[in-house]
Amino acid sequence: MREKVLEFLKLPKDDQTPNLELLEKLRRYRAKIHPDVNPGLEAIFTEKSAMVNILIDDYKKYIEEDLKNNSIVLYSNIEEKDDSLRVFELLALEEKIKNLETELIVKNNENQRLKSELKTMTKDLEEKKVENFKYKYEYSIKDYVFLSTKVGLTTLILVLMQITEISNIVRNLVSIPSNILNSFLIFYIAYCVASYATKNFISTNLDSLFKSLESVNIRGRFAKYIDERKEFSKIDISEFISIYLEKEYKILNILLKFDIHNRKHYIIHLCTELLTKEFIRDGIIKYTYRSDFCIKFSTDKYKYNSWEEIVLDDVF
C-alpha cells in the first residue's frame, strides 16, 4: 500500500517520509485539486477525487496497523505548516458542511412529518365538528320529542280517563250535542297521536334524513359560483345547515337554503313544527365553508363577506 501511495504522489519508493506526514500530503493534494481552491483543476478533481479518497481510507488503515506495531513516526517539523493548517481548515469545513446537510435532511423529514400530522389533525377536527353538529342536532330534536311526547301522553290519559265526565259537564253548561263533543274529543286524541308519531318518525329517521340531505348537489342561486370554484361541486349539507338555539326562548332555528328538487317540500313537511319562517326571522344563521365562504342571515338584509356581494331574495 505504501508503494502505491508513493507512486501516486510521484515520490521515490525508498522515501522515508513518516506515515502521518504522507497522509497529510495526500490530503493537501486533494485540497489543491479541489475546484473551490483551484477552479482550473476541476476536471482533474472529478477524475482523481475518488482515487484520492480510496487511497486516504486505505492509508488510514495502514497507519492503524503501524500504530498496533508501535512503528509509527509522529508528525513533526513539516516545512509547509501553513498549507497543512489550511488543509485541516478545509477538511473541517467539509465535515461541517456534511453535518449541516445531514441536519437539513433530518429537519426536512421532521418538517414533512409535522405537516402530515397537521393535515391529519385538521381533517380530524373537521370530522369532529360535523359529528358534534349532528350530535347537537339529534339531542335537540330528541329533547323536544321527549317533552312533546310527555305532554301529549299526559293529555291523552287525562282525556281517556275523564271523557265521560267532561262530556257531561260541558253538555250541562253549553247546549252542545253529545255527538259533536265526542267527535271533537276523538279528533283531539287523533291529533295528539299523529303529532307524537310525526315527531317520533323524525327522531328515529334522523340519520337517514342526514344522508339524503348530504347526497344533494348544491345548485340554485349559487350555481355559477360553484362552477367557478370546483371544490364547491358538492358541499356537505350537514355543514350547510346551521342551528341556532335561543338562550331565552330555547327555540330551535334552522336555515335550509339549498335546491333539493322535489324532496324539498317533503322534508319541510316533516319538519313543520321545527322549521318555520317566524323562527328563522328571529334567528341569526351563519354558515361558513372552508373559511372563505360565509353568509350572515338577518331579518332586514343579507350580508356576504367574501368574493362579491350576493343578494338572496328568497329563503324558501
Domain boundary among 78, 113, 138: 78
Q: Is residue 27 part of a domain?
A: yes
Q: Which residues pair with 252 in a beta bridge?
A: 245
Task: Provide the grid cell at 181.
Answer: 263533543
What does the alpha-carbon distance between residue 218 and residue 260 come to, in Å, rounded to a whole number? 8
Query: Do the domain assignments include residue 167?
Result: no
Residue 260 lies in a domain: yes
Does a structural domain hold residue 287? yes
On the question of pLDDT at 183 being above 50, the answer is yes
* Residue 106 within any structural domain of the chain: no
Boundary of a domain, candidates 44, 60, 78: 78
Instruction: Write the pLDDT tens digit of every residue in 196-245.
Output: 555 555 555 544 444 444 444 333 333 333 344 434 334 333 333 333 33
User: How many domains does the chain contain in total?
Assistant: 2
Q: What is the pLDDT of residues 270-307, one digit of tens each?
A: 343 333 333 333 333 333 332 333 333 333 333 433 33
Domain hosting 241: range is: 221-316
Grid coordinates of 92: 473541517
- Where does a domain end: 21, 55, 78? 78
User: How many whole angstroms separate alpha carbon 46 and alpha carbon 154?
Assistant: 96
pLDDT over 60 at 54, yes or no: yes
Residue 238 domain flag: yes
Q: Per-residue pLDDT for 263 more than 70?
A: no
pTM of the model: 0.21
Residue 197 or residue 18, greater confidence: 197
CA distance 261 to 265: 9
The single residue listed with the C-alpha cell 481510507 is 57
Residue 103 has pLDDT above 70, yes or no: yes
pLDDT the model gives residue 144: 56
Helix (H, G, I), strand (E, B) or coil at 50: helix
Does residue 19 lie in a domain region?
yes
Torsion (CA) 44, 47, 53, 54 in degrees, nearest 10? -140
Q: For the chain, what percent of residues have pLDDT higher than 70?
A: 8
Q: What values do phi and psi take at 204, rounded to 5?
A: -75, -25
Residues 200, 202: Cα–Cα separation, whole Å: 5
Decide: 285 and 294 in contact? Cβ < 8 Å. no
Contact 212, 162 (CB under 8 A): no
User: With bands split at pLDDT 50, 70 and 90, how would you rate the model's confidence at 115?
Assistant: confident
Answer yes or no: is 61 within a domain.
yes
Q: Which amino acid is at 202?
A: I
* pLDDT score recorded for residue 71: 43
Residue 55 confidence (pLDDT) above 50: yes
pLDDT of 4 above 60: no
| Residue pointed to by grid coordinates 303529532 | 195
